[in-house]
Structure 1
Amino acid sequence: MMASHHVWKSMFYLWRQPYKYYSTTKSYWGTQTCFSSRRQPFCSTSPDKTAEQNTALNQQKNFLASLVEMIPAGITAAYIHKGHDTTHGGGEMVLEVPHDKTIPVLRFLRDHSSCLYDCFIDCTAADFPQKPQRFRVVYNLLSLKYSSRIRVQTHVDEVTPIESATCLFKGANWPEREVWDLFGVFFYNHPDLRRILTDYGFEGHPLRKDFPLSGYVEVRYDDTEKRVVIEPVEITQEYRAFDYTSPWEVFPEGGNFEEAEKLPERV
């Protein structure tokens, strides 16, 4: 008990000292010195961080260029997406591929000795209704050996199917079912392509941009029937499409309220 008491006392003492105790660690990003504070922790990085970031970025560019040379017919674009979540100080590598070349490219990335992206992270999608091929299907892969991530993207319309990646990655089963359920992208050769998040008998795909936010049906528990019932949502179509007159439309453009028509007074 005495030893435990001294440990907690020492930890409490360190916590009470603002900006005094720090630790230095070395990683791929360079040497980082982190200071602890009761208010807000912050880190100061060494000047060689920028140089290492540029080195990592050049390595990623060279790697993407080599992929384009090795599989020229399967890659339409290759670039580096620089976001807040970067990989090893560079960015996230992105490959754009045709929808009929998705499986060959994924197999190459999994099996080639220079890639070894053998860890399937996720499969997701995004909807862009203004484009002819409105759905962007994204595969996120991870190479445990090289500690590298890559994103494979393809585009399809409402009626074009994509071959399932379950023949390469067993972990693609449920993510592809989710994309089918929420977006309506069909994956052929899938072992069990059925809805996974919505209810039985659900109509439509909720994450499409043209799907109404209020939906078409509602699910509730009927206390008289002692069961769950599904009923149509009692909302007018004008309300769904926001096609109704707003009380603010009486004001003219430009904010000249003096010229606005006066609303009728209540009786």
Structure 2
Amino acid sequence: MTVLHSAPRITSNDGVLDALSSTLGNLLVSGREEHGEIVLTIKREGIEDALRLLRDEHEYQQMMEIAGVDFPQRAERFEVVYMLLSLTRNHRILVKVSTDENTPVPTITTLWPNAGWLEREVFDLYGVKFAGNTDLRRILTDYGFEGHPFRKDFPLTGYVELRYSEDEKRVVYEPVELAQDLRQFDFLSPWEGADYVLPGDEKAATPPVNEPKTTESPKQTGAGAKTDEKAEEKVSAGSPAEEDTAIDNDAPEPTEDRPDRPEREGGAKDTPAATEPEDGKDDA
């Protein structure tokens, strides 16, 4: 039995960008197709109206996710990205707005109630404010947390750490104390080399000696006839060993100078004959 479904398995982007751009009109800042997806940049103050048009007129019924992105080098450093899904068309699009640390973005909780939790997450991690959200509180970090962890200028180790104190019987905050400093690893190719000078490499930048020092004459080495004469005067001149050591004339002669001893005359018998008993006698 063949089952037919209104949504295609693979949806093409052909004509989608032109149709959405025509509907959004002046609300649209830019639109492009990137990495196989339609990306729309909307004016910040018109984000609620733009998303309402996309939901009602182009059947993007579900708002799947809200994410934040931080670009510190920009004047409006934050981007809020809305990910929409059309169930009837089996198609996804990305909608973006830009803002800074102080300018709030209009809330879209009037369109999708689940946006309240997602806007709180972006507020908690990036510090982006949403005008009209009646419950804009931190949702992932702990009570009393300072700063926004997903900002690029947030320190990697944080400022304080949380632990339970057995002495005070409560949860306490303390300054972060690291057993060792945070290490920065360099994953550049060893064939290309780093852009900065590594410790110890500053010695390699020392220019070589243009004229190496040589010893072409005895004067440069300190050698010569006068030096040899001074060396002879100092060798064993009046040393204690020569003055105090006496020669012992009563010392024994070396053993190698003594005459050999004469051979002994004895009646030693061969071993077997000496150990065998005589005839007629038993061993004792």
In structure 2, what is the Cα distance between the partners aligned to 1:95 and 1:241?
Answer: 39
Q: Following TM superposition, by how much is the alpha carbon of 1:249 offset from its aligned partner in structure 2, in angstroms? A: 2.6
Aligned to 1:142: 85
Aligned to 1:152: 95
Which residue of 50, 55, 68 maps to 1:110?
55
Which has the larger strand fraction?
Answer: 1
Query: After the TM superposition, which segments of 4 or more aligned residues of structure 1 sit over 4 Å from their partners?
Result: 239-242
Which residue of 134, 151, 154 maps to 1:208?
151
Is residue 135 of structure 2 the alignment partner of residue 192 of structure 1? yes
Instruction: List runs of 5+ in structure 2 lacking aligned partners.
Output: 1-7, 185-196, 208-284
Alignment of 1:226-241 (within 5 A): 226-234=169-177
Distance 1:124 1:109, change over 3 A: same
Look up the SS of the partner of 1:252 in the other structure. Answer: helix
Which residue of 179, 183, 186 maps to 2:126?
183
| Contact preservation (8 Å) 2:9, 2:90 | no
In structure 2, what is the Cα distance between the partners aligned to 1:240 and 1:100?
Answer: 42
Q: Following TM superposition, by how much is the alpha carbon of 1:71 offset from its aligned partner in structure 2, in angstroms? A: 2.1
Deviations 1:11-52 (A, max 9, x none): xxxxxxxxxxxxxxxx846xxxxxxxxxxxxxxxxxxxxxxx
Aligned to 1:71: 24
Aligned to 1:252: 202
| Contact preservation (8 Å) 1:212, 1:240 | no
In structure 2, what is the Cα distance between the partners aligned to 1:109 and 1:132?
Answer: 28
| TM-score where L is the length of structure 1 | 0.64
Q: Following TM superposition, by how much is the alpha carbon of 1:80 offset from its aligned partner in structure 2, in angstroms? A: 1.3
Over the matched positions of the two proteins, sequence identity in percent amounts to: 44
| Contact preservation (8 Å) 1:123, 1:139 | yes
RMSD: 2.7
Aligned to 2:37: 92
Q: What is the number of residues matched between the two proteins?
A: 188
| TM-score where L is the length of structure 2 | 0.61
Deviations 1:175-210 (A, max 9, x none): 100000000000011121100001111111111011
Q: Following TM superposition, by how much is the alpha carbon of 1:117 offset from its aligned partner in structure 2, in angstroms? A: 0.7
In structure 2, what is the Cα distance between the partners aligned to 1:178 and 1:230?
Answer: 23
In structure 1, what is the Cα distance between the partners aligned to 2:88 and 2:48?
Answer: 22
In structure 2, give the amino acid aligned to 1:66: A
Q: Following TM superposition, by how much is the alpha carbon of 1:257 offset from its aligned partner in structure 2, in angstroms? A: 8.4
Which has the larger helix fraction?
Answer: 1
In structure 2, what is the Cα distance between the partners aligned to 1:164 and 1:240?
Answer: 39
Structure having the higher Rg: 2
Q: Following TM superposition, by how much is the alpha carbon of 1:70 offset from its aligned partner in structure 2, in angstroms? A: 2.4
Q: Following TM superposition, by how much is the alpha carbon of 1:248 offset from its aligned partner in structure 2, in angstroms? A: 4.5
Look up the SS of the partner of 1:167 in the other structure. Answer: coil
In structure 2, what is the Cα distance between the partners aligned to 1:172 and 1:96?
Answer: 19
